[in-house]
């Protein structure tokens, strides 16, 4: 059973311990995101944030020690859910450019969670008269806000455009493919021959040949979704 929290200081302690869990989980997920990203700029951004995350976790240790507690984590279900949601989304996105846009969205969901959590912890530290704690937490808060800003800039400058362009290219390719097939079918029927069939069309046979063309192997076959596990 979870321990009852009966004071603001105990609430603050619990928040610090959940932040330890948060930083550890993010540090585990970022290498997978680096590997999944296709844009070099996005890979670099994730790599820098991984180094920041490891440092941010270390900053929490003296704060807990100052409160007389060991450097241990308390489970943070919310960050686990955010990370899991991002991982599930990655399994559904095959195109690298579109995946980069999804990676940024997932990373910013994590950043927004951290901004809220560190902002709350900082406010509680100030209320408790823990000025040095507040300064340490403020430093991390500013780093999280800067990371969020950089991800937004990267998405708007590069990643979202590439993801949208990729979708447009695919749509144009599909339309061209359909146009080519329609043209071939029409050409064959206008000369009295079925595409790919040597004989003339007999009376009343147009419908069956047309149905053969529609029902045959001419429509694109979707490939099984590749199961991406971040590695």
Global pTM reads: 0.72
Q: What is the pLDDT of residue 166?
A: 73
Q: How confident is the model at residue 231 (pLDDT cuts 50, 70, 90)?
A: very low
Residue with more model confidence, 106 or 170: 106
Q: What is the pLDDT of residue 181?
A: 59
The residue assigned the tokens 């790599």 is 47
**Residue 216, Ramachandran bin (φ over 0: left; ψ between -120 and 50: alpha; else beta):** beta
Q: How far apart are CA 6 and CA 218, in angstroms?
A: 69
Q: How far apart are CA 199 and CA 194, in angstroms?
A: 8
For residue 198, pLDDT over 80 is answered with no
Residue with more model confidence, 175 or 112: 112
Q: Mind listing the domains of the chain with CATH numbers? A: 8-166 (1.20.1260.10)
Range in 54-63, 115-124, 191-200 with the lowest mean pLDDT: 191-200
Query: Percent of the chain having pLDDT more than 70?
Result: 71
Question: For the residues 12-23, what does the mean pLDDT come to?
Answer: 98
Q: How confident is the model at residue 187 (pLDDT cuts 50, 70, 90)?
A: low
For residue 115, pLDDT over 60 is answered with yes
For residue 194, pLDDT over 60 is answered with no
CA distances from 44 to 30, 52, 60, 99, 153 (A): 11, 12, 25, 16, 14
């Amino acid at each position: 059973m979870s321990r009852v929290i009966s004071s603001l200081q105990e609430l603050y302690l619990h928040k610090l311990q959940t932040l330890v869990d948060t930083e550890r989980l993010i540090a585990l997920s970022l290498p997978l995101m680096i590997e999944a990203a296709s844009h070099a700029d996005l890979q670099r951004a994730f790599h820098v944030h991984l180094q920041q995350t490891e440092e941010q976790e270390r900053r929490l240790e003296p704060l807990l020690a100052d409160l007389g507690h060991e450097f241990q984590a308390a489970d943070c279900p919310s960050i686990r859910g955010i990370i899991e949601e991002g991982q599930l989304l990655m399994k559904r996105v095959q195109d690298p450019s579109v995946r980069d846009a999804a990676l940024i969205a997932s990373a910013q969901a994590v950043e927004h969670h951290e901004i809220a959590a560190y902002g709350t912890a900082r406010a509680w530290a100030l209320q408790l008269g823990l000025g040095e704690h507040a300064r340490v937490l403020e430093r991390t808060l500013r780093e999280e806000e800067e990371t969020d800003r950089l991800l937004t800039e990267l998405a708007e400058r590069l990643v979202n455009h590439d993801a949208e362009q990729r979708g447009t290219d695919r749509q144009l390719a599909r339309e061209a493919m359909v146009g080519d097939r329609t043209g071939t079918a029409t050409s064959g029927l206008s000369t009295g021959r079925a595409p790919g069939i040597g004989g003339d069309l007999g009376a009343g046979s147009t419908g069956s040949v047309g149905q053969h063309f529609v029902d045959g192997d001419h429509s694109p076959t979707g490939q099984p979704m590749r199961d991406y596990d971040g590695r």
